[in-house]
Structure 1
Amino acid sequence: MEMDRILGDELLEEVLRRLHPHSSFSSSTADVSFVSKRWLRLYRSSKSRLDLSLCPFYCTGPSLSSFLSHFPHLSFLHIVIPTVAGYPFSAFPDQILHSISSSCTKLTTLHLDHAPVSLSPLLSLSNSCPHLTDLSISLSTSFSLHWLRFFRSLQTLSISFGYVLGESKHVDDDASGGKYFDAELKIENLTMSYTLRGYGFDWLWRSCKSLKKLQLVRCEGVGDDTSVSSFVNCFKGLREVELRSCGFVVHEILSEVLVNCTSLNSLLIFNMASSYGLLHQFITHSGCSLQQLDLCVPHDLINNHFLSAVADRFRGLLSLRLNMCHLVTGEGLRTMVLAMTNELQELALIDCKVEPGLLTILGQRFRNLRNLDLSKNRMLVDNEFISMLASCNCLRELRVRRCEGLTNASVVSMFKSCKQLERVDIMNCPGIDAEGVELFVLNCPGLRRINVEEDKLSDVSRSWASKKLVECSSLTYYCGSRYIPRVLFVYISFNSTCFKTKDDKSQG
C-alpha cells in the first residue's frame, strides 16, 4: 500500500497503459481493476481500445452510456451483437449508437457487427464523433448512402447489407431525380458485403474519388446499370482489389479493371466462378504492375500454363499466395520461380502439391522471404522442410498448420536456421509434441506469437512465454486464404460491478 501512495495517478495510468494486454499466459490486465476503486478508475482511463459483446437481455442504452463514460480516452470500439433466435433486435443497435454518441466523442474507429442500424443514430454519430476515420456497420438493403457526406473524416468504411422482409428495393436518389450533388468523400478503403444486383450505388461510386482499396464480399453486383457506368470513376487511384466469393460478378469487375485501372498493385480473388479465359486475359494483358497476387479459385483455373503467364507478366512480385492449386505440378512452380526475380518476400502454397526437391529450389531462389505459409500440405516431410529453412534466414512469420508429416526435428530447424522468427503457426501437426514446443519457446529469441494446441503447452513453456510476453492462441478461423486469430471480447453484465474477459467460442 505504501507503493500505491507513492505512485501518482499519471504514473500509475502510464504503467497500466504499458501492460501487455494479449498474453494468454499471464493473468488478464483487467485483474488490476480489482486492487482498489482508484486502480479501477485509472485502468479504465488508460484504455483506448475496447471489444464488447452485448445482448439486450443484459444491456440497455442508459446502462451502456454509463459504462462507456468511465473510458474517457476511448478511440477504438468494437461491438458484436450475438444472434439470439426469435428475439427482435431492431431497436437495440440504434440504442447502442445513441449511447456511443453521447459517451465516446474521441472515437476514431467504430465496428458494430451483426445488426442493421437506422439513419437517425448515424447522423447523431457524425455530429458527436467528428474525428471518426474508420466505420464498420450493417444496413438494410433499402438504405440510401447519402448520410456518408456528414462523416467528413471517414477514410475506411465497411458496410454489410441485409435484406429485411417487406422492404422496398433501394434506388439511388441521384438516379431517380438528381436530388443530391456529388460529394468529395475521403474514403480510401471500402468494403461492401452482400450487395444485390440492381441496387443503386451510382452516387457512392461517383463520390469515392480517393479510393485506394476495394473489397467486395459475397456480392452479386456493383449496382444497377447507372451504377455500373459510374463504377469506373473510382479506378483512377485504385491500388488494391479483393473479391471474395462474388461469383460471376468477378468477371464484370476484372473486365473493367483490365481496361480502366493501371495503378493496381494488389489482387486477391477467392472462390470465383470458373472462367479461365478472363483470368488469363487479365494476367497477360493488364497494364498493372502487380506486387501482390493472392488466388484461391476453382481447381481447373490454375495450371502450369497460367503460372508461366504470371511469371512472364509480373516478375517483380513481392507476395504470391496460391491456395488449393491441385493441378499445378512441381515443374510448373519451378518454371515460374526461375522466371521471377529473387525479391519475393511472401510465399504461400496452401493445400498445393509440394513435390520432392521443390522447396529446396524455392529456398535457394527466394532468400529474402519474410513470410512463408505451407499449411495443409499433408505430404510435407522433415527433410524437404529443413532443406528449405537452411536458406530462409530472414523469415519472420511461418505457418505449417496441418502439415502432418513434420516432427520435432523440423521445430529444431526452425529456431536454428530462422533467428528472426516472430510468429509461428504449428496447429494440428501431430508429429510435433509438447517437448518440441517447449524447445521452440525456450530457444526462439524473437518469438512474439505462437499458434499451437493448449495440451502441447507444458508448464515450462507457459512460464517462459509469460516472461517473454509471447502471445499464444489455439483459436483461429479461416478467412479467404489467410488464417485470422479470433478476437477476444469482453462480456459485460450490467447487473454486476465487475466484468471479465472470455474468448468468443460461443460466437462460432
Structure 2
Amino acid sequence: MEIDTILGDELLEEVFRRLHPHSSFSFSTADVSLVSKRWLRLYRSSISRLDLCLSPDNCTSPSLSSFLSHFPHLSFLYIVIIPTVSAFPDQILHSISSSCTKLTTLLIYHAPVSVSPLLSLSNSCPHLTYLSISLSTSVSFHWLRFFRSLQTLSVSFRFVPGESKHVDDDADAELKLENLTLFYIRRGGYGFDWLWRSCKNLKKLQLVRCEGVGDDTSVSSFVNCFKGLQEVELRTCGVVVHNILSKVLENCTSLNSLLIHNMVSSDGLLLQFITHSSCSLQKLDLRLPRVLENNHLSAMADRFRGLLSLRLHMCYLVSGEGLRTMALAMTNELQELALTDCKVEPGLLTILGQRFRNLRKLDLSYNGMLVDDEFIALLASCNCLRELRVRGCEGLTNASVISMFKSCKQLERVDIMECPGIEVEAIELFVLNCAGLRMINVEEDKLSIVSRSWALKKLVEVLDWL
C-alpha cells in the first residue's frame, strides 16, 4: 500500500508542521508538488509563516491574492518589496487584506504604505497583534484606532520632498499598544502628538536613528506614555538622547530595562541619571565608546544592585581596573554579562567567575586579550551557563572548546565564529559531548561529516552567520 493512502490529511499536515525549517530534511513547495497535488495542498495548509520578496516584475495584485489563498492558516507574513514603486506597496497590502484573515504578524519592508489599505487591513485582519511597516512622514497615526488587537508596532519613516505638514486635532484614543518602535523621526516632525497622547499602555519604547520625538507640541506630550513604561531603547539617536534621558529621569518610575547605543556625549547627564534615578533597573545595555568611564561603572554597581543583565560594548574609556572594581561592588545575582570589545585584562575573568556563579548568559566577543588559561578558569566557576559567545576571540584554542563541554553541562547555545585557533577536531568533540546543545554558530568549513551527522541526530541548529 502506498504511503500516500496510508497517511490521512491531519497526520500528513502534522508531519509537515514538525519539519524544522533549518533541518536537512526540510523541503520546498517544488519538492512536495512532485509527489501529488494532495501533498501540495496539505503542505500549504500546514504553513503558518511565509517570507516573500516581491517586485512589480514578478508579482501583480491578483496573482498575489490567488497565491496567498492557498495558505489558509497563515499567521506570520514577512514581505520585502523591491524596488520602492509608489503604488505597488498599497496593492500588496490590499491583496493581503483579501486573502490572509488569520494574520497575527505582518512585516513589510522598504516601501511606505498609505492609510487607505491600512484601514482595509484593520477590517480584514482583526487578530493582527504585530505590525511592521514604512510610512511617509506626512501620514498621521489615526488609523491605529481601528486595529483593536494590535500590541506591537514598528514604523520606519520615509521623507517625501514637498509633502504637506499634518495637523493633528483628533481626540485621544485608548490604544492597546504595548511595544512601539520608531525609525528615522525627523527633527520637528508632525503628527506625533496624538500618538504620544494615545499610547497610555506602553511597556516598551524603541527609538532608532531619530532626530527628535516630534514638533514642540509632541515634545510636551511625549511624557504621557511614561506611566507604565518598563523598557526604553535608544539606538544612535544623537543629541536627542539627552532630552529623552532627562525626561525618563523625571517622569518614569517603572523602568526596569535601559539600552543606550552611540550617545554623542553626556555632559554629566548619564552619571546624573545613574545616581538619581528612582528606577529599579534589572537590565542595562550600553554602547558608549566615547562616554562611559570608570566613575559610571562604580555608580552603576552602587545604585543598581538588582541588576540581572549587564551588557557593555566598546568601553574604550573604561580600564580593566574599572571593570574589576565594578565586579567586586556588584551583587552575585547577575544572570547575564556581556563585555564585548572591552579591555578584559589578565586577572579580570578570575574575579568574574568567582563573583558571578549564577551566570546563565556570557558574551566575551571580540576580546583580543582573552586566552585559554583564564577562560578555562572562568568556565570552571560558571557551570550554570546556557549561552556563551566568544566570537572574534583570536587567543582561544581547542583547549577552551574542550573545557566548555566539560565544565558547562547546561550549555545550549554557543557562538565560536571568527576564532582561528579553534579547529575542526575540537568542534567535532564539542558537538559529540555537549549533551544539551541546541544551537552553534561556527564556520561551515570547520564542520566535519561527523559533526554534521551528530548535529542532525541531536537536532542542533548550525548557523554560519550572525
TM-score, normalised with respect to structure 1:
0.89
Name the SS for the 2:42 alignment partner.
helix
1:294 equivalent to 2:285? Answer yes
The CA distance in 2 between the partners of 1:13 and 1:281, in whole Å, is 58
The CA distance in 1 between the partners of 2:247 and 2:167, in whole Å, is 21
What does residue 128 of structure 2 align with?
132
Amino acid paired to 1:412: I
1:382-461 aligned at under 5 Å gives the runs 382-461=372-451
Amino acid paired to 2:6: I
Relative to 1, partners in 2 of residues 1:328 and 1:386: Cα closer, same or farther, differing over 3 Å? same
Relative to 1, partners in 2 of residues 1:82 and 1:374: Cα closer, same or farther, differing over 3 Å? farther
Relative to 1, partners in 2 of residues 1:26 and 1:432: Cα closer, same or farther, differing over 3 Å? farther
Name the SS for the 2:214 alignment partner.
coil
The CA distance in 1 between the partners of 2:200 and 2:339, in whole Å, is 36
Name the SS for the 1:385 alignment partner.
helix
Amino acid paired to 2:129: T
Aligned counterpart in structure 1 of residue 224 of structure 2, from 224, 229, 233: 233
The CA distance in 2 between the partners of 1:127 and 1:379, in whole Å, is 57
Relative to 1, partners in 2 of residues 1:128 and 1:379: Cα closer, same or farther, differing over 3 Å? same
Amino acid paired to 1:98: H
What does residue 168 of structure 1 align with?
164
- Per-residue CA distance 1:369-425 (angstroms, 9 max, x = gap): 111000010121111111100011111111101000001111001111111111111
Q: CA deviation at 1:243?
A: 0.2
Name the SS for the 1:186 alignment partner.
coil
Name the SS for the 1:246 alignment partner.
coil
Q: CA deviation at 1:452?
A: 0.9
- Per-residue CA distance 1:197-229 (angstroms, 9 max, x = gap): 111311000000000000000000001111111
Amino acid paired to 1:341: T
Q: Are 2:19 and 2:26, in contact at CA under 8 Å, matched by a contact in 1?
A: no
What does residue 40 of structure 2 align with?
40
The CA distance in 1 between the partners of 2:403 and 2:27, in whole Å, is 33
Give the 4+ runs in structure 1 shifted more than 3 A.
25-34
The CA distance in 1 between the partners of 2:17 and 2:187, in whole Å, is 47
1:154 equivalent to 2:145? Answer no
- Per-residue CA distance 1:241-279 (angstroms, 9 max, x = gap): 000000001000001000000000000001111114011
What does residue 4 of structure 1 align with?
4
1:111 equivalent to 2:102? Answer no
1:65-464 aligned at under 5 Å gives the runs 65-83=65-83, 89-169=85-165, 171-174=166-169, 180-200=170-190, 201-299=192-290, 301-464=291-454
The CA distance in 2 between the partners of 1:413 and 1:28, in whole Å, is 37
Q: CA deviation at 1:172?
A: 3.9
Q: CA deviation at 1:441?
A: 1.0
Name the SS for the 2:73 alignment partner.
coil
1:19 equivalent to 2:10? Answer no
Relative to 1, partners in 2 of residues 1:20 and 1:160: Cα closer, same or farther, differing over 3 Å? same
Name the SS for the 2:342 alignment partner.
coil
Q: Are 1:189 and 1:214, in contact at CA under 8 Å, matched by a contact in 2?
A: yes
Q: Are 2:289 and 2:317, in contact at CA under 8 Å, matched by a contact in 1?
A: no
Q: Percent identity?
A: 80
Name the SS for the 2:78 alignment partner.
strand
What does residue 50 of structure 1 align with?
50
Name the SS for the 2:41 alignment partner.
helix
What does residue 490 of structure 1 align with?
none
Q: CA deviation at 1:310?
A: 0.3
Q: CA deviation at 1:26?
A: 4.1
Amino acid paired to 2:281: L
Relative to 1, partners in 2 of residues 1:15 and 1:401: Cα closer, same or farther, differing over 3 Å? same
The CA distance in 2 between the partners of 1:82 and 1:425, in whole Å, is 32
Q: Are 2:289 and 2:313, in contact at CA under 8 Å, matched by a contact in 1?
A: no
**Structure 2 unaligned runs (5+)?**
none
Q: Are 2:20 and 2:26, in contact at CA under 8 Å, matched by a contact in 1?
A: no
Q: Comparing 267-276 with 249-258, which one deviates more in the overlay?
A: 267-276
Relative to 1, partners in 2 of residues 1:321 and 1:172: Cα closer, same or farther, differing over 3 Å? farther
The CA distance in 2 between the partners of 1:412 and 1:29, in whole Å, is 37
Q: Comparing 315-324 with 54-63, which one deviates more in the overlay?
A: 54-63
Q: CA deviation at 1:29?
A: 6.1
The CA distance in 1 between the partners of 2:28 and 2:52, in whole Å, is 16
Q: CA deviation at 1:297?
A: 1.2
Q: Are 1:349 and 1:375, in contact at CA under 8 Å, matched by a contact in 2?
A: yes
Q: CA deviation at 1:337?
A: 1.4
Q: Are 1:172 and 1:202, in contact at CA under 8 Å, matched by a contact in 2?
A: no
The CA distance in 2 between the partners of 1:259 and 1:62, in whole Å, is 53
Amino acid paired to 1:152: R
The CA distance in 1 between the partners of 2:34 and 2:281, in whole Å, is 52
RMSD of the TM alignment (CA)?
1.2
What does residue 504 of structure 1 align with?
none
- Per-residue CA distance 1:439-475 (angstroms, 9 max, x = gap): 1111111111111111111111111111111111112
Amino acid paired to 1:323: H
The CA distance in 2 between the partners of 1:32 and 1:230, in whole Å, is 54
Amino acid paired to 1:135: L
Q: Are 2:206 and 2:232, in contact at CA under 8 Å, matched by a contact in 1?
A: yes
Q: Are 2:209 and 2:235, in contact at CA under 8 Å, matched by a contact in 1?
A: yes
Relative to 1, partners in 2 of residues 1:34 and 1:371: Cα closer, same or farther, differing over 3 Å? farther
Amino acid paired to 1:132: L
Name the SS for the 2:268 alignment partner.
helix
Name the SS for the 1:435 alignment partner.
helix
Name the SS for the 2:79 alignment partner.
strand
Q: CA deviation at 1:4?
A: 2.2
Q: Comparing 55-64 with 380-389, which one deviates more in the overlay?
A: 55-64
Which fold has the larger relative contact order, with Cα–Cα distance below 8 Å and residues 6 or more apart in sequence?
1
**Structure 1 unaligned runs (5+)?**
175-179, 477-508
Q: CA deviation at 1:55?
A: 1.8
Q: CA deviation at 1:28?
A: 3.4
- Per-residue CA distance 1:41-90 (angstroms, 9 max, x = gap): 1111011111111122111111111111111001111111234xxxx611
Relative to 1, partners in 2 of residues 1:383 and 1:32: Cα closer, same or farther, differing over 3 Å? farther
